[in-house]
């Protein structure tokens, strides 16, 4: 009953503060038709990305792991007309869907999708840096290296947000039998907690409050 009540409250918050527009609904539909996994962020998380982008007046945003462009649309809508979102995506099949969804949402002019392994693409972004906001949501084992790059590609005041940093509480302490994804998330949480240039908090903000964002601000 408690869970039901929480979901009802969350539905109301989403409807009032984070309604999906046609572009977002279209991206979800295109993902479904393309057989892509439904593992995108939720609307409240999308709106939270926009709130953070507005807080530091983001003009350049980097996304690592884009899937079907759902989070990318939330991010790109937070940009001014001359702003830029660069999305890195491993799967060419996903990239096609993302580009079409960005175009359908009217965001083709301020978005760019680069296809490949993020670790190979990140060194090529140094000329475009600093990014004001960096959203990490690709393979979890890679998170510690993505953090290193995110800091390198940022400026004081940049915000680095990573999804899936709660995982039912399994990613706060190391355990001997953890898999590579869990180990990556444990390390990411530890690095962001201890890094002298970051102020960090983790928010359990998915639909069941069992997963959510790690939010770090670069000092």
Nearer to ligand SAM, 40 or 205 (CB): 40
Nearer to ligand SAM, 29 or 173 (CB): 29
Instruction: State which residue has the least CB distance to ligand SAM.
Output: 65
Nearer to ligand SAM, 71 or 111 (CB): 71
For the bound state, the minimum distance from the C-beta of residue 169 to ligand SAM, rounded and expressed in Å, comes to: 20
Q: Measure the CA–CA gap between 111 and 156, rounded to whole angstroms.
A: 24
- State the residues that interact with ligand SAM by CB under 6 A: 39-41, 65-67, 70-71, 88-91, 94, 117-118, 137-139, 142
Query: H or E segment at 16?
Result: helix 2-17
Count CB-CB contacts under 10 A for residue 208: 12
Nearer to ligand SAM, 179 or 199 (CB): 179
**103 to each of 77, 82, 96, 139, 186, how far by Cα in Å?**
12, 16, 11, 26, 36
For the bound state, the minimum distance from the C-beta of residue 4 to ligand SAM, rounded and expressed in Å, comes to: 25
For the bound state, the minimum distance from the C-beta of residue 155 to ligand SAM, rounded and expressed in Å, comes to: 23
In degrees rounded to 5, what are phi and psi of residue 107? -115, 15
Count CB-CB contacts under 10 A for residue 13: 13
Point out which residues pair with 215 in neighbouring strands. Answer: 161, 201
Nearer to ligand SAM, 23 or 82 (CB): 23
For the bound state, the minimum distance from the C-beta of residue 95 to ligand SAM, rounded and expressed in Å, comes to: 9
For the bound state, the minimum distance from the C-beta of residue 33 to ligand SAM, rounded and expressed in Å, comes to: 16
Q: Which of 142, 163, 141, 132 is nearest to 62 (CA)?
A: 132
């Amino acid at each position: 009953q408690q869970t039901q009540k929480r979901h009802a409250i969350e539905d109301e918050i989403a409807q009032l503060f984070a309604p999906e527009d046609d572009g977002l609904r279209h991206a979800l539909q295109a993902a479904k038709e393309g057989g892509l996994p439904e593992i995108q962020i939720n609307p409240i998380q999308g709106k939270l990305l926009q709130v953070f982008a507005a807080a530091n007046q983001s003009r350049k945003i980097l996304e690592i792991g884009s899937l079907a462009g759902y989070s990318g649309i939330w991010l790109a809508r937070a940009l001014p007309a001359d702003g830029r979102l660069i999305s890195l995506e491993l799967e060419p099949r996903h990239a096609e869907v993302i580009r079409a969804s960005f175009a359908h949402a009217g965001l083709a002019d301020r978005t760019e999708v680069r296809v490949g392994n993020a670790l190979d693409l990140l060194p090529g972004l140094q000329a475009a840096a600093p990014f004001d906001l960096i959203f990490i949501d690709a393979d979890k084992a890679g998170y510690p290296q993505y953090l290193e790059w995110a800091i390198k590609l940022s400026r004081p005041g940049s915000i680095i947000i990573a999804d899936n940093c709660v995982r039912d509480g399994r990613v706060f302490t190391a355990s001997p039998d953890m898999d590579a994804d869990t180990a990556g998330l444990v390390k990411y949480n530890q690095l962001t907690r201890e890094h002298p240039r970051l102020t960090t908090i983790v928010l359990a903000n998915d639909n069941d409050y069992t997963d959510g964002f790690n939010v770090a601000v670069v000092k």
